[in-house]
């Protein structure tokens, strides 16, 4: 195969952007015949990520960024009714801009570097239509688990049979990609949504089948049952290339959420703690709690007696669409005297350098929202999780980790934003359980950590899967040349 260009279209979320660019770098490291153009869809709300995105690709000249024109976003009211439908409509409104960018800025180079295909985010399936119009193959980049991919294929089948959304009183579901029957309480909120959330996710599941292949950020040794399950379906080939994670040396301060002084303070504090003695609490870029829940977390930590590093983020009181920010007055949201009583064993911060914290020898456990990127990072570094999902597919991720895989401790599986307050005693018990040094979960996590690293090495399962993907793209180019 001669040189070829791929166009990547990530969804405008930080987790989706980072994992897509990590995959781009992995592909380029494996085969120097590719060059990659990433089309950036601007976020309608929240932090401007342009500087951060550019920092991710600064060292790789074969990755070109094109920022698509700003479009009028869907109504804010739709965001409140269904985030999934809002994103689907936002992506749909960019189809013309994507096609024009490819025709005017990518295809002019096709005489020397032909277009090999589009790699579209799992939420950007509308762009598969653009690939069809251009006569090139498309590949879906799936940023969640193989089990959740199986769930996405399950959704259209169920809808074709029943013609309706899920109901909160429904019985548990037998979903082939999960080992155990899945309780309705851990299904993503969109399955109950009658405002377009369920319908657009059903549509994504249908559109996946039009792609030439599906790339999943997971590895065979972690999700052997789920991967086997999705391969049994009449779907495009599935390529498991994970874990794709940022390594600790890649911390960047350009996003503006943490400065170098904060970073050094956190890492210095960890340096002074005994090995595997710290429980780390962090709930992702969109995770936050109200004052009543923060007080219970504080009491639970204090009662457990364990050292802790706690990333606290507070929701904006005047902007429903803004990402959580660092809390300015901790005394107002924590129990009276808590900061003084725990000053010797605990540290509270705002945004935390999560990967570097997980990589640190002092970190013994992770109370996490169970976003898939965070889950893979914790497994890579051998840090067991206590599950506290908040939104999106995090509940069903937590279910898989605890019930199917035995790789996490259950704090909660079914917590949702605005749900009942989790009390201090429950938090204390989960922290004590996940911090046990000789637990079966900890042993299993250590084993899967070793397997995750072998998977991406030469000869490993993910490395071999990447090789098969490159062969498939190569065959496309050979056919095109003929």
The span from the CA of 125 to the CA of 46, in Å, is 23
Here the tokens at position 204 are: 């994504």
Closest CA to 269 of 158, 356, 193: 356
φ, ψ of residue 193 in degrees (nearest 5): -85, 120
Here the tokens at position 109 are: 């180079």
DSSP string spanning 158-183? Answer: HHHHH-S---TTPPPB--TTSSSPBP
The span from the CA of 64 to the CA of 61, in Å, is 7
Cα 445 vs. chain centroid, distance in angstroms? 19
Here the tokens at position 415 are: 């917590």
**H/E segment holding residue 476:** helix 461-481
The span from the CA of 441 to the CA of 187, in Å, is 24
DSSP 8-class letter at 309:
E
Residue in the block written with tokens 């939420």: 123
Is residue 347 helix, strand or coil?
A: strand
Closest CA to 384 of 352, 355, 407: 407
Active-site residue set: 16, 121
DSSP string spanning 375-423? Answer: HHHHHHTT--EEE---STTHHHHHHIIIIIS--EEES-SS--TT-PPPP
Contact 146, 226 (CB under 8 A): yes
φ, ψ of residue 103 in degrees (nearest 5): -65, -40
Residue in the block written with tokens 């219970």: 296
Angle at 224 between CA 8 and CA 357, to 5 degrees: 65
Closest CA to 21 of 42, 2, 38: 38
| β-pairing verdict for 325-326 and 313-314 | antiparallel
The span from the CA of 230 to the CA of 394, in Å, is 20
SS3 content of the chain, % helix, strand, coil (to 5): 45, 15, 40
Classify each residue of 429-458 as buried b or exposed e, where b means 16 or more C-beta atoms within 10 Å of its C-beta.
bbbbbbbeeeeebbebbeebbeebeebbee
DSSP 8-class letter at 303:
H
């Amino acid at each position: 195969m001669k040189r070829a260009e791929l166009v990547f279209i990530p969804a405008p979320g930080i987790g989706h952007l980072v994992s897509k660019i990590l995959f781009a770098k992995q592909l380029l490291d494996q085969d120097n015949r590719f060059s990659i153009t990433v089309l950036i869809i601007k976020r309608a709300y929240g932090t401007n990520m342009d500087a951060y995105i550019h920092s991710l690709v600064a060292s790789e000249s074969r990755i070109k960024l094109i920022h698509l024109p700003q479009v009028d976003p869907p109504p804010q009211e739709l965001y409140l009714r269904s985030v999934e439908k809002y994103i689907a409509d936002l992506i749909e409104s960019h189809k013309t801009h994507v096609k024009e960018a490819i025709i005017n800025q990518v295809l002019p180079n096709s005489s020397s570097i032909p277009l090999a295909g589009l790699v579209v985010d799992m939420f950007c399936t509308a762009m598969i239509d653009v690939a069809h119009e251009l006569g090139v193959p498309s590949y879906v980049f799936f940023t969640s688990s193989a089990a959740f991919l199986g769930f996405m294929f399950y959704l259209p089948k169920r809808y074709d049979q029943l013609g309706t959304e899920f109901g909160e009183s429904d019985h548990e579901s037998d979903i082939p990609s999960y080992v155990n029957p899945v309780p309705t309480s851990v299904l993503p909120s969109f399955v109950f949504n009658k405002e377009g959330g369920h319908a657009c996710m059903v549509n994504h599941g249908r559109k996946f089948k039009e792609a030439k292949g599906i790339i999943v950020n997971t590895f065979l040794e972690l999700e052997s049952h789920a991967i086997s399950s999705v391969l049994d379906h009449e779907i495009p080939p599935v390529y498991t290339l994970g874990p794709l994670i940022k390594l600790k040396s890649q911390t960047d301060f350009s996003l503006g959420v943490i400065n170098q002084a904060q970073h050094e303070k956190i890492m210095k504090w960890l340096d002074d703690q005994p090995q595997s003695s710290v429980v780390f609490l962090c709930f992702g870029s969109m995770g936050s709690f109200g004052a009543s829940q923060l007080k219970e977390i504080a009491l639970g930590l204090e009662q457990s007696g364990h050292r802790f590093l706690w990333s606290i983020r507070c929701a904006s009181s005047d902007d429903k669409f803004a990402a959580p920010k660092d809390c300015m007055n901790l005394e107002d949201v924590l129990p009276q005297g808590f900061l003084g009583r725990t000053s010797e064993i605990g540290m509270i911060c705002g945004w935390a350098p999560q990967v570097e914290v997980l990589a640190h020898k002092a970190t013994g456990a992770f109370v996490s929202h169970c976003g898939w990127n965070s889950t893979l990072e914790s497994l890579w570094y051998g840090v067991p999780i206590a599950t506290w999902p908040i939104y999106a597919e995090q509940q069903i991720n937590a279910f898989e980790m605890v019930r199917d895989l035995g790789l996490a401790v259950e704090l909660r599986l079914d917590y949702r934003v605005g749900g009942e307050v989790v009390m201090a005693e429950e938090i204390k018990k989960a922290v004590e359980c996940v911090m046990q040094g000789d637990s079966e979960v900890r042993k299993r996590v250590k084993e899967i950590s070793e397997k995750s690293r072998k998977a991406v090495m030469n000869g490993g399962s993910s490395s071999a899967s990447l090789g098969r993907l490159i062969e498939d793209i190569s065959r496309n180019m050979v056919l095109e040349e003929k």
